[in-house]
Structure 1
Amino acid sequence: MASSNLPRGERTPKDLQGLLRFCVEATKNDDQTSESRFEKMPEEKRKWLEEALHEMTVNPIERMKICLSLLGMEDEEEDLDKKIAALDELHDWCEFIDFAIDFHKIGGFSVLHYLLHHDEPELRWKGLELIAALVQNNPYCQKALLEEPNLFKEILLILDTDSDATVRTKALLATSCLTRDFPEAQKVFVDSDGFSITLRAMQSNVEKLKIKAAFMLSSFVADKPEYKNLLCDMGMIDQLIGHLGEEHSSFHEHLLSAILTIGQDFSRGVKEFRRPELALEQTLLQKQRDLAGKEEFMEELQHATELLRLMKENQSEDQEVAR
């Protein structure tokens, strides 16, 4: 990627580990059983190695600046491939925390609004993928992104309303990475009705989005159990349990995990589970019968069994208090 043309789909080593992986891939078809011997390296392999070694000397900041300049090209249709390749390279650099911070310091965040509002869905979802790489486990970039005017709210709006399934899924990824272990972003998420947006994502017809939304809800509540009362107040438990009545899919495993996470160490939640009109106990007993002996559904069965145990245990405690 030394050339500013940035051929789409190519990846070049950026460190010694990447170079080693590159060399292994380049020689993986060699006969490993023959006796080792020195011989002249084929011209094609020599060229590959030279290019890889050259890339080891590339200045990451200069490369990121070149990528940003490519994203600013005005001829959208003609330069779409170059823009996508530029985003791919920026994503690769920004997976490293130090380079992600450098990306912000050179003004890279200014391109994010442009990407999120682009007419081309691939640029939107790659922009969101870049945001996820920037903020994942990176407190500096989490704070910096939250300080960009309305950027997080734009991400949430995209998650809720974009017409492209991949764009919505990547918006969920960016939201998850931004809010993880970052209370300031978690507060903005809650204040922006983020739980309702997450619930609507679980009501979509996109299985991947539904699963990831349930997983994020589970992780969020596990990290911030103080929000469990809010979920009860907004009727989230009724909605989640209602989805268990839909046709069975891999989504149910993650849905049960989210319900279980809400109920753990939260007696109000378990009391909600036991409301007769929700018929959760009957649903779980039926799941035990349907999933018994099916190894591919073992985790879902475990979640159902643990939920039943939690409901019965809580009921026994309530009866003891009543006596």
Structure 2
Amino acid sequence: MDPSDQEPSEPRQPRNFQDVLRYAIEAGNNAQTQRTEPDISPLDPERRQFLEQAIQSLTVDTVRILSAAIETLKSLSKDTLAPETYQDALDEIADHVDNIDAANDFVKLGGFTIIDSCLHSQHPGIRWRIADIIAQCTQNNPFCQNHALNLRLLEQLITMVDKDPDEQCKTKAFFAISNIVRDSAVGLKEFMRLNGFSAVKKALVSNTDKLRMKASFFFNSVVSNQPTVTWDVVSMGFPELLVSQLQLPPGPSHEFNASSLLLLVQNSKEALATCKKPDLKLVEILNRIIDDQKTDDTYSELVESCKQLLVLVR
């Protein structure tokens, strides 16, 4: 999972028997750690309420909720309702499609037919929400990835990263791109056909921390798992770009940028030759990072990548 998406959130209500069972086991384990003798007393009000809510949640009709939200969003092309109404419908969908079964139901119910009008909405709150839904549906889900590719959503999302005036829209669009492309040979091929790495270059130098993080994580993932892209990204100037990013004050993206640069240098003579150019001052940059961060455990992996790079380029 992209580290930039690991944000604290309220636990979701259980939606099926497996959720209830897991929650019940967790509640039982927590209670067991707080007592040493068997407890045969009646359920206290708080635990009773928890179990009642968990059981009631099983009656939630996810298909009905998704269908109703889709119907609401079908009128978006005419923009007949308040933006908040459409946003609420998208929030309803987002509350469910993190579950693979619900994501697949969303597609089967025709949910992807409302994507185009949402992506082209004048309201950024609608655009970023639908991009987030695409991301949730396609994460580790080949069924939804294939539907997204068949509908040519990558092209629209790449354009969104490139030209949307709203930074949150760009960030969510990149999140969606990442989930469609990673671990999908077909998705990566289409991404490259659309010159998607140009959008990655722009994202890497964005002023938005989250977008930079997503771009660096995505790029590192691709060059780690798909070394066949090495020649293309080296010819596009990624080694120089990554070096320039390492000159900035250390942040969460540095670890991935250093790792990516190391992979390019290890797999490409051209990248190695570029990184040895005196005008890049890479040796000086690496020495400074190693010296400044050697006692900070937060950047231990960054320091290790820099040490390996230093051996190759000095």
TM bin, normalised by shorter chain, reads 0.7 to 0.9
Q: Deviations over 1:235-254 (max 9, x none)?
A: 22222212222334333222
Computing the radius of gyration from Cα coordinates, the structure with the larger value is: 1
| Equivalence map 1:1-323=2 (5 Å) | 11-20=12-21, 32-33=34-35, 36-39=39-42, 42=45, 49-72=51-74, 74-77=80-83, 79-80=85-86, 82-92=88-98, 95-96=99-100, 98-148=101-151, 150-311=152-313
- List structure 1 runs of 4+ shifted beyond 6 angstroms: 25-31
> 1:234 & 1:45 partners in 2: Cα distance?
59
> 1:300 & 1:171 partners in 2: Cα distance?
27
Moved more, 208-217 or 264-273: 264-273
> 1:233 & 1:51 partners in 2: Cα distance?
57
Task: Flag the 1:22–1:275 CA change in 2: closer, same or farther, 3 A.
Answer: same
Percent identity of the aligned residues?
28
Aligned residues: 299
Q: Deviations over 1:221-261 (max 9, x none)?
A: 22221221122222222222122223343332222122112
Is the CA contact 2:91–2:129 (under 8 Å) kept in the aligned structure 1?
no
Task: Flag the 1:39–1:227 CA change in 2: closer, same or farther, 3 A.
Answer: closer
| CA apart distance, 1:147 | 1.0
> 1:26 & 1:47 partners in 2: Cα distance?
15
| RMSD, aligned α-carbons | 2.9
TM-score w.r.t. length of structure 2: 0.83
Task: Flag the 1:167–1:21 CA change in 2: closer, same or farther, 3 A.
Answer: farther
Task: Flag the 1:27–1:241 CA change in 2: closer, same or farther, 3 A.
Answer: closer
Task: Flag the 1:179–1:289 CA change in 2: closer, same or farther, 3 A.
Answer: same
| CA apart distance, 1:72 | 3.7
> 1:245 & 1:271 partners in 2: Cα distance?
19
Task: Flag the 1:12–1:305 CA change in 2: closer, same or farther, 3 A.
Answer: same
Task: Flag the 1:251–1:85 CA change in 2: closer, same or farther, 3 A.
Answer: closer
Opposite residue 254 of structure 1, the aligned amino acid is F
Moved more, 62-71 or 28-37: 28-37
TM-score w.r.t. length of structure 1: 0.81
Stretches of structure 2 that go unaligned for 5 or more consecutive residues are: 1-9
